[in-house]
Amino acid sequence: MDQNELIVLLNKCWMTHDGAWFMHCCSEFGIEVGNRLNKSAISSLAPMEIARFKKALGFNDQEINTFDQFKAFFTQAAKLVIPDFMGGRFIFEDGQVLSMEMEPLQCFAYKGMQRMGVIDQYECGVIYRIECWLDALGIEFQTDPDVTHCTMHREGHCVKRIRLSFA
């Protein structure tokens, strides 16, 4: 097994656990509580993820103060936890924008929430995780469109543009 196969295997296992946890949360407590607990878990995990990524990728003592530094860091970190099977890609634009595009109707979270029957009320954890990473890095940002619920479900596609602001 090569490195990419290992990354895919570990992420599929993690996403299966994450989905099962969310499904049981929703079954036991309802979608509203599931969404709230999911976001709480994501926001508390993000600072630890960022610290681990920075250490593993050689950014440990380095502040990320520019778009180029962010791009270098994010590109490497995303390869570890956002493999191709998740259905998305990232584009760096205009020296200040990170765009996330999910393949139409192929987002792993969309498909999972659809199977669970909660897609109408699901609050996207995918973009929220990235926003929490940005918070953990101390990078100010604005997401467009700034919506909570699943854009893939409502529009058939999902494109988010995150405008980053470095002090």
State residue 45's pLDDT score.
96
Domain of 72 in residue numbering reads as 3-165
Q: What is the CATH number of the domain that holds 75?
A: 3.30.1380
Per-residue model confidence as pLDDT tens digits over 32-64: 999 999 999 999 999 999 999 999 999 988 889
Region 82-88: mean pLDDT is: 82
Bridge partners of 93? 97
For the chain, how many structural domains are there in total? 1
Q: In whole angstroms, give the CA distance from residue 124 to residue 155.
A: 14
User: Helix H segments across the chain?
Assistant: 3-29, 31-56, 67-81, 108-116, 125-137, 151-155
Confidence of residue 6 (pLDDT cuts 50, 70, 90): very high
Q: What is the pTM assigned to this prediction?
A: 0.92
The DSSP 8-state label assigned to residue 64 in this structure reads -
Residue 142 token pair: 């604005």
Q: For all residues of the chain together, what is the average pLDDT?
A: 93
Region 91-116: mean pLDDT is: 92
